[in-house]
Structure 1
Amino acid sequence: MGVSTCVLGCLNTFTLCLSLPILLAGFLLRITANSPCDPIMYKPLLAIGLSLLIVSLIGLLGACCRVSIFQWLYLFTLFILIIGLLALLSVSGVLIKGGGKGNDVMGGVKEYELPMFSNWLKKNFVSDDHWEDVVNCLVHHDACGKISTFRTLMDFVTYKKSKLTSMEMGCCKPPVHCGYEYKSNTRWEVPEQGLASQDADCKAWSNDPDKLCYNCETCKGGYLAFFVKGWKKITALNTALLVILFFVFIIAACALR
């Protein structure tokens, strides 16, 4: 019994230590987001980290006080957490997909088309009702503020390759296929020969800082691409965490028996 209690205590300490960097990562994602409008999924990290922290504290209480009901509760909640992670990975694999690698424009700069993404993403993130709130947030927090430092088109292209997000690329300039001429900052003008395309995105562009290309499909596509990219990182973390917790659960179950 002493060996089992020691093993359970060590496992609980391990999961407790594991929850702290997950919580820290969630807080860092929230703090370092380009703006409050960024579709960064920090909430799942905070939820997973907090759940793991609570589970570990329950287990430590049971191991230190040798209260079997807490030890069984630890095992049960750990099992629920594993099932929850497995369900999250399965559901997200079906619903959160699309975007591909984007379309290369302007020497490696990428634009994303809205039809590339799943219907679920489009319905829940960029539908008319939701998108109006996103645009208001983008305008309020000056989502295209970085581009105000550019002086030439080359600055725009060079800076994009290392700094700008797909959301900023889709929302803060007209689509490349429209043929607008770059003038300064977020100012683009129609060339003398006219636009190369007359699609809805080309007509939607405005030099008004409160409008820009916020109502373009390329903006919505860039927004979803930014979300999918961030979610893939969280999925990789969840997969690694699921494997670790699975082995912890097996060892804990054997020790408790």
Structure 2
Amino acid sequence: MGVSNVLLGLLNSITLCISLPLILAGYFLKVTADSPCDPVLYKPLLALGLSLLAVSLIGLLGACCRIKLLLWLYLITLFIVIVGLLACLSVGSAVVKGNDRGQDVLGGGVKEYELNTFSGWLRNNLVGGSHWEDIKSCMISHDACGKIETFRTLMDFVMLKRSKRTSIEMGCCKPPVHCGYEYENATNWKVPAKGLTSEDQDCKNWNNNFEILCYNCGSCKAGYLALFMKGWRKVTMLNGALLVVLFVVFVIACCALRG
């Protein structure tokens, strides 16, 4: 039993060491987000890190004080965390899918995204109905396109190609390229004399009012989803690696406790 306690203490120390970077990573994502309206991917990391921290503390207390009830509680809680990770990984892989590579409309990596290339679940649950109204209100109140003002003032296509803009800025802060709008000045895009080159609804939704712009466009929603997918892939890879580590820890802990 003494050897088992030592081994369980070491295993709990490992999970404790894993939980702290997860919490720090979640906090880092929160404070470094481009705007408060960015997809809140820091929440899963914070929740996972705090869960592992709680599990580790329960296991360490059980191992150090030789309280078998706490050790069994540790195993049960760790099993629940593993099942939760597996469920999130499975459901997330099935639901969050689609072609979010975008179209390089001007060359130089300047991409626009189309809403219909994303899964129906994402369109309905992340940017559908009242969800989008809340996101849009957040973007407007926090001036999501404020950073692009200088870019719009000095913009030509060469500068656009060289600019490092988020998918939200490219989808919400200017009319889609395929519409054929012409840049006029710092705050206006005009319809060319020959008319727009597309009947797409996004082209009709564009408005030079800085509180409207293309926030009602499908391209804006698609830009938001593209940013979400980019972060989700990183979270999924991290969850997959963590799932393997926790499963190994769980198996060893079961053997140690039974021994």
Q: Which bin holds the TM-score, normalised by the shorter protein? A: over 0.9
Paired residue for 1:155? Answer: 159
Paired residue for 1:102? Answer: 102
Q: Spell out the pairing of 1:3-152 with structure 2 (5 A cutoff).
A: 3-107=3-107, 108-150=109-151, 151-152=154-155
- Residue deviations 1:19-64 (CA, integer Å, cap 9, x gap): 0000011111111111111113111111100000000000000000
Letter in 1 for 2:7: V
Unaligned runs of 5+ in 2: none
User: Pairwise CA RMSD of aligned residues?
Assistant: 1.2
Does residue 196 in structure 1 map to residue 200 in structure 2?
no
Q: Distance in 2 between matches of 1:238 and 1:244?
A: 10
Letter in 2 for 1:241: L
Letter in 2 for 1:198: E
Paired residue for 2:213? Answer: 212
SS of 1:173's equivalent in the other structure is coil
Letter in 1 for 2:68: S
Comparing 92-101 and 43-52, the one that deviates more: 92-101
- Residue deviations 1:187-234 (CA, integer Å, cap 9, x gap): 322122221112211111111110000001111111111111111110
Identity level (%): 63
Q: Distance in 1 between matches of 2:242 and 2:81?
A: 10
Count of aligned pairs between the two proteins = 254
Unaligned runs of 5+ in 1: none
Answer whether contact 1:25 1:45 (CA < 8 A) is retained: yes
Letter in 1 for 2:55: V
Answer whether contact 1:147 1:185 (CA < 8 A) is retained: no
Answer whether contact 2:112 2:223 (CA < 8 A) is retained: yes
Shift of 1:103: 1.3
Letter in 1 for 2:146: G
Shift of 1:10: 0.7
TM-score, with structure 2 as normaliser: 0.95
Letter in 2 for 1:113: E
TM-score, with structure 1 as normaliser: 0.96
Answer whether contact 1:37 1:138 (CA < 8 A) is retained: yes
Shift of 1:185: 4.4
